[in-house]
């Protein structure tokens, strides 16, 4: 074990306006990383895969103490012994940690100072950590040779603007390894590069890992490169790890509906596959106001009754329905429902409609008949008359925790294992759909 | 062939020996160097290649959206009209209405102070000033419905939408004018995998509904395989191979196409492959075939003579000596067929 992440949270307070802050109003919290537990084993490549907004980059930065942990802990266990709690380190102690933990950033053009030569950039970490300047030269040359920038003399005096994208990323790698770290956190190291050199940079990373005994955390949105590169993979969604296991198992038998969706959506240069496939609707939700229950439920094709259905899902349902209707029908039905604004406040019970209960009921029935398999309907516990409209009550949602399922850990009520309520829900869900 | 029209009636774009060059410090940069292709109504042509191969320049060149100091030459007929012979004013009138463009970053292309409805009013009123208010709204809602934006959001502001929805709105804005031809330059590059797949599907639906011909520029070969009817592979300003997308992907003819496919990391990748070196300097490109310094199949002839565009048995058109020999459409004397001897490509030339 090199890194031990236990129930790590990185929460950011969103400050409202000055008045809101004064009265404590309107502030909310973005849970960028929300209770993540994972371990990096010595010599392995751990992939952290997710879409933008999943918290993968924040997690990577927190591992190096670049983002403040607001809960839980990160423990670094060096080869030489003497465990260090990264999440508690500050100032000088944190700087010293950088000799062991290093980062490779996504954009090599932005990660290099345009006014520093290659020799200066690569030697900079040594200078910061007080290595005598007489020793700089040989160590810089050695690092450049390791990343393949040889003959070294050709590169020492060059500026980033003289280099191609692949060469710049090599310089960034040289700078990252020059202090002899044990762990590299690589945040999308190849996504800004031209496709013809991506494979080359991955190959270089594998070489360095072998020669220097490194362990990697490989952060990416690209499942294809993760499949090739990683030993284990953690799939992240909205600040949580939703599935984690060996690369082999995750690709052979993806369990979480989100993992499955990601795999199905990868465009493959394979002429025998084509577009029409079942895709989750919508996009990754706002982390300042995540969905109730499981964060993925609004997009999940396999959602059950207890996944956390709520008012905002009702809004999406209505809007999708109207997207398919002609303008006249929309105008008429819109009159029945009225304004949708109040649905934006998350609630498991909500009033709907203004043209009388019968008309609203009627419309709801029509929408349901249109697509009876829509998972949202499983979550509706009751639709009650209120006179002017109806009150829609949803089942209470479950926020699933990571649990063992087969060879992986997955956070989904479909793989609940124990919990009676969840089992019941699962039975109910499958009963309805059959 | 004397009396026959130059193109079939369903041909929307016809480019022949099209060239675009920029003024360089000493010599011109030949960014697009003699490109020929046709696009039919409702067809999606994918354009792929490494960065710096002239993909975006070709896309902008087709629409006349080139910076000062750039020039176009050759033949370009869009919807039966010779675009290169037009006055700048006529050419400008064509853009928007006849020719559309979808850019990579939707947020920078929408005015944050304007409602979505106002964007549509502006676009439609500029090009079709006689439309009534109701007609504008009907047209806008129609196209928004096809791209999957709910009518309830018609009067919302750009910041109220997610990245994927903004790109859908951009696509709707380009298509509401019913252009004959649209260039989409990396339309899904800034988006996540799932949203990307949704948008690719939307483009499919739109093509069926509107019959627009589209040039889809992308570096993602997977997207081409899924979304395009045909694909053109560009290298150093030339189209080196063009053909049916399935055919090109399962039977690449040009060595560059094959190497590009091999270097792509996909779910089926079991080993790493790459193309050594980088695309050439377009001020002073190599002799013969521009790809020969990087090509694993290079023969003596490749450095000496430029390969001709030839339609090969599978139906693809390629300009590659090795492909010609393989297909048996030409024969070369032994000295020309001998493998080209050259220095190994160092990292100094890496892309």
**Per-residue model confidence as pLDDT tens for chain A (434 residues):** 899 999 999 999 876 666 666 665 666 789 999 999 999 999 999 999 999 889 999 999 999 999 999 999 999 999 988 899 998 888 888 888 989 999 999 899 899 999 999 999 999 999 999 999 888 999 999 999 999 998 899 999 999 999 999 999 999 999 999 999 999 999 999 988 888 889 999 999 999 999 999 999 999 999 999 999 999 999 999 999 999 999 999 999 999 999 999 988 888 777 666 554 667 888 889 888 899 999 999 999 999 999 999 999 999 999 999 998 888 899 999 999 999 999 999 999 999 999 999 999 999 999 999 999 999 999 999 999 998 999 999 999 999 999 999 899 999 999 976 544 445 444 544 544 43
Token pair belonging to B230:
């045909």
At what angle are helices A257-265 and B193-210 packed, to 10 degrees? 50
Distances in whole angstroms, Cα of residue A118 to Cα of each of A153, A157, A175: 10, 6, 9
Q: How big is chain A, counted in residues?
A: 434
- Which of the 8 DSSP states describes residue B348? G
Token pair belonging to B326:
């393989």
Q: Is residue B44 less than 8 Å (CB to CB) from chain A?
A: no
**Residues forming beta bridges with residue A380, ordered by sequence position:** A394
CA distance A122 to A140: 6
Q: Is residue A329 less than 8 Å (CB to CB) from chain B?
A: no
Distances in whole angstroms, Cα of residue B247 to Cα of each of A241, B225, B262, B313: 40, 10, 16, 11
Q: Which run of H or of E encompasses A191?
A: none
Nearest-Cα distance to chain A for B180, in Å, is: 24
**What residues of B are in contact with residue A221 (Cβ under 8 Å)?**
192-193
A271 contacts B250? CB cut-off 8 A: yes
Distances in whole angstroms, Cα of residue A86 to Cα of each of A1, A34, A69, A125, A214: 15, 17, 9, 19, 18
A276 contacts B201? CB cut-off 8 A: yes
Q: Is residue B1 less than 8 Å (CB to CB) from chain A?
A: no
Q: Is residue B48 less than 8 Å (CB to CB) from chain A?
A: no
Beta carbon pairs, A and B, within 8 Å: 165
Nearest-Cα distance to chain A for B104, in Å, is: 15
Cis check: omega of the bond before A402, within 30 degrees of 0: no
Please provide residue A430's backbone torsions phi and psi, each rounded to the nearest 5 degrees. -70, -30
Q: Which of A71, A87, A56 is nearest to A10 (CA)?
A: A71
CA distance A154 to A59: 37
CA distance A389 to A304: 26
Of A203, A227, A283, the CB nearest to B162: A283
> Residue A9: helix, strand or coil by DSSP?
strand
Q: Which residue has the tokens 């409702």?
A: B42
Query: What pLDDT does A422 receive?
Result: 47
CA distance A65 to B163: 30
A52 contacts B192? CB cut-off 8 A: yes
- Residues 6 or more apart whose Cβ sits within 8 Å of residue B252: B241, B258, B261
B272 contacts A266? CB cut-off 8 A: no
For strands A390-394 and A349-352, give the pairing.
antiparallel
Q: Is residue A153 less than 8 Å (CB to CB) from chain B?
A: no
Q: Is residue A39 less than 8 Å (CB to CB) from chain B?
A: no
Of A51, A167, A274, the CB nearest to B347: A167
Of B149, B246, B351, the CB nearest to A194: B351
Residue A167: CB atoms within 10 Å: 25
**What residues of A are in contact with residue B350 (Cβ under 8 Å)?**
164, 166-167, 197, 200
| Terminal CA-CA length for chain B | 45
- Which of the 8 DSSP states describes residue B282? S
Q: Is residue B219 less than 8 Å (CB to CB) from chain A?
A: yes
Look up the ipTM and state it: 0.86
Of A199, A262, A327, the CB nearest to B151: A327
- Residues 6 or more apart whose Cβ sits within 8 Å of residue A84: A75, A76, A78, A93, A97
> Residue B99: helix, strand or coil by DSSP?
strand
- A363 neighbors A336 (Cβ within 8 angstroms): yes
- Angle at alpha carbon of residue B37, lines to B33 and B41, rounded to 5°: 145
Please provide residue B44's backbone torsions phi and psi, each rounded to the nearest 5 degrees. -110, 120
**What residues of A are in contact with residue B164 (Cβ under 8 Å)?**
283
Please provide residue A111's backbone torsions phi and psi, each rounded to the nearest 5 degrees. -85, -10
Nearest-Cα distance to chain A for B25, in Å, is: 17
Query: What pLDDT does B340 receive?
Result: 92
Q: Is residue B140 less than 8 Å (CB to CB) from chain A?
A: no
Nearest CA in chain B to A165: B351
B149 contacts A194? CB cut-off 8 A: no
**What residues of B are in contact with residue A280 (Cβ under 8 Å)?**
194
CA distance B185 to B164: 15
Token pair belonging to A302:
């396999």
**What residues of B are in contact with residue A164 (Cβ under 8 Å)?**
278, 350-351
Of A154, A166, A267, the CB nearest to B226: A267
Q: Is residue A148 less than 8 Å (CB to CB) from chain B?
A: yes
Query: What pLDDT does A274 receive?
Result: 56
Token pair belonging to A90:
């500050």
**What residues of A are in contact with residue B162 (Cβ under 8 Å)?**
282-283
B194 contacts A164? CB cut-off 8 A: no
Please provide residue B159's backbone torsions phi and psi, each rounded to the nearest 5 degrees. -70, -15
B164 contacts A266? CB cut-off 8 A: no
Q: Which of B294, B235, B227 is nearest to B50 (CA)?
A: B235
Nearest-Cα distance to chain A for B142, in Å, is: 8
CA distance B150 to A122: 52
Query: What pLDDT does A400 receive?
Result: 93
- A120 neighbors A126 (Cβ within 8 angstroms): no
- A373 neighbors A302 (Cβ within 8 angstroms): no
Of A199, A267, A271, the CB nearest to B197: A267
Entry pTM: 0.89
Distances in whole angstroms, Cα of residue A302 to Cα of each of A314, A377, B267: 17, 12, 24
B153 contacts A224? CB cut-off 8 A: no
**Residues forming beta bridges with residue A186, ordered by sequence position:** A104, A218
A196 contacts B275? CB cut-off 8 A: yes
CA distance B177 to B97: 5
CA distance B161 to B165: 6
A269 contacts B266? CB cut-off 8 A: yes
Token pair belonging to A272:
């025998």
Token pair belonging to B90:
């006529």
What is the number of alpha carbons within 13 Å of residue A39 lying toward its C-beta? 8
A199 contacts B272? CB cut-off 8 A: yes
**What residues of A are in contact with residue B151 (Cβ under 8 Å)?**
322-323, 327, 330
Query: Which parts of chain B sit beneath pLDDT 70?
Result: 1-9, 106, 346-348
Please provide residue B168's backbone torsions phi and psi, each rounded to the nearest 5 degrees. -60, -40
CA distance A310 to A306: 11
């Amino acid at each position: 074990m090199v890194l031990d992440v236990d129930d790590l949270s990185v929460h950011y307070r969103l400050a409202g306006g000055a008045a809101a802050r004064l009265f404590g109003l309107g502030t909310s919290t973005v849970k960028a990383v929300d209770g993540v537990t994972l371990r990096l084993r010595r010599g392995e490549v751990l992939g952290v895969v997710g879409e933008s907004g999943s918290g993968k980059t924040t997690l990577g930065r927190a591992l190096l103490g670049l983002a403040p942990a607001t809960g839980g802990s990160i423990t670094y266990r060096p080869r030489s012994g003497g465990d260090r709690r990264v999440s508690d380190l500050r100032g000088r102690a944190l700087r010293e940690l950088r000799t062991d933990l290093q980062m490779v950033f996504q954009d090599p053009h932005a990660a290099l100072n345009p006014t520093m030569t290659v020799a200066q950039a690569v030697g900079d970490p040594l200078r910061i950590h007080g290595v005598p300047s007489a020793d700089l030269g040989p160590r810089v040359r050695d690092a450049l040779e390791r990343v393949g920038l040889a003959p070294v003399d050709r590169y020492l005096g060059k500026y980033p603007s003289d280099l191609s994208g692949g060469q710049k990323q090599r310089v960034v790698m040289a700078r990252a390894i020059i202090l002899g770290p044990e762990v590299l956190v690589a945040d999308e190291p190849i996504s800004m590069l031209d496709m013809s050199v991506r494979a080359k940079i991955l190959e270089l990373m594998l070489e360095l890992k072998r020669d220097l005994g490194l362990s990697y955390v490989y952060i990416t949105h690209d499942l294809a490169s993760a499949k090739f590169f990683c030993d284990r993979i953690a799939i992240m969604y909205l600040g949580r790890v939703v599935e984690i296991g060996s690369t082999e198992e995750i690709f052979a038998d993806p369990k979480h509906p989100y993992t499955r969706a990601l795999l199905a959506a990868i465009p493959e240069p394979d002429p025998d596959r084509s577009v029409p496939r079942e895709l989750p609707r919508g996009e990754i939700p706002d982390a300042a106001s995540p969905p109730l229950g499981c964060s993925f439920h609004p997009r999940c094709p396999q959602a059950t009754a207890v996944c956390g259905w709520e008012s905002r899902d009702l809004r999406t349902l209505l809007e999708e329905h109207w997207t398919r209707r002609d303008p006249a029908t929309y105008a008429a039905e819109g009159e029945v429902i009225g304004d949708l604004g109040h649905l934006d406040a998350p609630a498991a019970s909500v009033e709907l409609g203004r043209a009388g209960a019968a008309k609203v009921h009627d419309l709801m029935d029509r929408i349901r008949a249109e697509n009876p398999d829509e998972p949202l309907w499983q979550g509706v516990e009751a639709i009650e008359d209120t006179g002017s409209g109806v009150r829609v009550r949803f089942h209470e949602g479950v926020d699933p925790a990571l649990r063992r399922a087969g060879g992986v850990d997955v956070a989904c009520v479909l793989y609940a294992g124990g919990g009676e309520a969840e089992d019941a829900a699962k039975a109910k869900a499958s009963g309805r759909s059959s | 062939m004397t009396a026959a029209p130059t193109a079939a009636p369903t041909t929307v774009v016809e480019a022949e020996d099209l060239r675009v060059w920029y003024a360089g410090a000493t010599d011109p940069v030949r960014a697009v160097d003699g490109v020929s292709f046709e696009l039919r109504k409702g067809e999606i042509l994918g354009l792929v290649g490494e960065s710096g191969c002239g993909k975006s320049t070709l896309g902008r060149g087709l629409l006349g959206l080139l910076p000062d100091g750039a020039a176009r030459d050759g033949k370009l007929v869009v919807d039966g009209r010779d675009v290169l012979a037009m006055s700048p004013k006529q050419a400008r009138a064509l853009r928007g209405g006849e020719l559309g463009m979808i850019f990579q970053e939707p947020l920078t292309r929408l005015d944050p102070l304007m409602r979505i409805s106002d964007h549509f009013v502006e676009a439609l009123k500029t090009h079709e000033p006689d439309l009534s208010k109701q007609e504008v709204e009907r047209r806008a809602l129609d196209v928004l419905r096809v791209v999957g934006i709910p009518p309830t959001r018609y009067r919302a502001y750009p910041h109220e939408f997610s990245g994927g929805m903004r790109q859908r709105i951009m696509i709707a804005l380009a298509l509401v004018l019913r252009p004959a031809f649209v260039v989409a330059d990396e339309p899904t590059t800034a988006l996540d995998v799932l949203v990307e797949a949704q948008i690719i599907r939307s483009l499919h639906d739109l093509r069926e509904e509107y019959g627009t011909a589209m040039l889809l520029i992308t570096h993602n070969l997977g997207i081409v395989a899924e979304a395009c009817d045909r694909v053109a592979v560009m290298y150093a300003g030339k189209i080196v191979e063009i053909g049916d997308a399935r055919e090109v992907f399962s039977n690449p003819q040009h060595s560059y196409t094959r190497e590009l496919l091999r270097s792509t990391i996909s779910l089926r990748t079991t080993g790493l492959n790459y193309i050594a070196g980088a695309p050439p300097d377009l001020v002073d490109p190599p002799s013969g075939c521009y790809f020969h310094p990087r090509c694993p199949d290079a023969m003596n002839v490749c450095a000496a003579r430029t390969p001709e565009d030839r339609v090969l048995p599978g139906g693809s058109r390629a300009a590659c000596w090795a492909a010609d020999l393989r297909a048996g459409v030409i024969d070369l004397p032994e000295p020309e067929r001998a493998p080209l001897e050259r220095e190994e490509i160092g990292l100094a030339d890496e892309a």
